A = this chain, B = another copy of it.
Amino acid sequence: MTRRLIESVPNISEGRSPETVEAIARAAVGPECWLLDVSSDADHHRSVITLVGSREGIAEGIHRLVSEAVERIDLRDHQGAHPRMGAVDVVPFIPVGATEMEECVAVSRDVGERIGTELDVPVLLYEGSATAPHRRNLAAIRKGEFEGLATKLGDPQWTPDFGPAAPHPSAGAVAVGARPFLIAFNVNLACDDVDVAKRIAAAVRHSSGGLRHVKALGLPLEERGTVQVSMNLTDFRKTPILRVLDLVRLEARRFGVAVTDCEIVGKVPRAALYDVAGSVLQLPDFRPEIVLEERIEDVLGGDPLS
């Protein structure tokens, strides 16, 4: 029972009706498609649904989920704090374990094509699936939001990859694409000056000269009375988590500030932790096969992930 799994984390524009969110999330569950988590935010009026499945399972599950959401969510009377352009706003596909990014790109195209033709919702491929460099970035695709979609999709720069050239009247459009797993990693500092956190964040993040796959903000932690560098690591294979932390530590040292502790919000892939361990233990030949349980899973054939 060796499966190559793909994670998908559709974001839907409904965060206030638990019944609606539940119905949409449940619609995805089916053969080889499992529900891991549902998280709703009423202020954002948005929910994040985490699913995992085989290539076929996740493709079918996402199609069922999008069908259900298009039927139940009407963006014409939708107001929330989070920007959005569709009933299903974005559908990322993320490789798990030994799955390759290419498989996620292929699934995103298959799923996108079916959403476009069967549900009449325009689809824009983004990130690893984008068909042009200017269409990689989700924020750029979403700019103008639901209300600006008719104008935007009329621009040849933003012609949908699949489906009609005009927005779906109630469901807008959806961005579909393959991307690496995103690690939410926060570093807490022994310091009460938020400017220190902001300057460290500016030093390590890509947008202001730092590491390629790091987004970072400096924030106050009101309850603790301290400050935090809050980061998204968007490609831990190219910009490893430990390199990011080591750079934060170096920058913090300039201010005479120590790192008190860190936190991972949500999940972290096993490969990212293996990478940290292999790096710190100076194991140049580290391969997952040296891990006892990986070898056992190989022999027993019971691993759902390899």
Counting CB contacts under 8 A, is A290 at the interface?
yes
Counting CB contacts under 8 A, is A166 at the interface?
no
CA of A1 to CA of B303, assembled, Å: 11
Counting CB contacts under 8 A, is A140 at the interface?
no
Given A52-B296, A270-B293, A283 and B302 touching (CB < 8 A)? no
Query: Closest B-chain residue to A52, C-beta based?
Result: B296
* Chain B contacts for A304, CB-based, 8 A: 296-297, 300, 302-303
Which listed residue, B268, B270, B273, B295, touches A267 by the CB 8 Å rule?
Answer: B295
* Chain B contacts for A302, CB-based, 8 A: 1, 302-304
CA of A51 to CA of B228, assembled, Å: 47
Which listed residue, B97, B242, B262, B281, touches A293 by the CB 8 Å rule?
Answer: B97
CA of A245 to CA of B282, assembled, Å: 10
* Chain B contacts for A77, CB-based, 8 A: none
- Cβ A281 vs Cβ B96 within 8 A: no
Query: Closest B-chain residue to A275, C-beta based?
Result: B277
- Cβ A261 vs Cβ B282 within 8 A: yes
CA of A128 to CA of B294, assembled, Å: 26
Counting CB contacts under 8 A, is A305 at the interface?
yes
CA of A7 to CA of B295, assembled, Å: 12
Interface residue count on the A side (C-beta < 8 Å):
48
Counting CB contacts under 8 A, is A158 at the interface?
no
Nearest chain B CB to A260 CB, angstrom units: 8
CA of A285 to CA of B264, assembled, Å: 9
Given A302-B1, A303-B302, A245 and B293 touching (CB < 8 A)? no
Among A3-55, those with CB < 8 Å from B are 5, 7, 34-36, 52
- Cβ A282 vs Cβ B268 within 8 A: no
Among A254-282, those with CB < 8 Å from B are 259-264, 266-270, 273-274, 276-277, 280-282
Counting CB contacts under 8 A, is A241 at the interface?
yes
Counting CB contacts under 8 A, is A291 at the interface?
yes
4 residue pairs, one from A and one from B, having the closest CB atoms: A302-B304, A273-B277, A276-B277, A267-B292
Since A259-B282, A261-B283 are in contact, a sample of 12 more A-B pairs with Cβ atoms closer than 8 Å, ordered by chain A residue number, is A5-B296, A52-B299, A96-B292, A261-B284, A262-B282, A267-B290, A267-B295, A270-B291, A276-B281, A300-B304, A302-B303, A303-B303
**A-B CB contact pairs (8 Å), 6 listed:** A52-B300, A96-B296, A267-B291, A267-B292, A270-B292, A303-B303
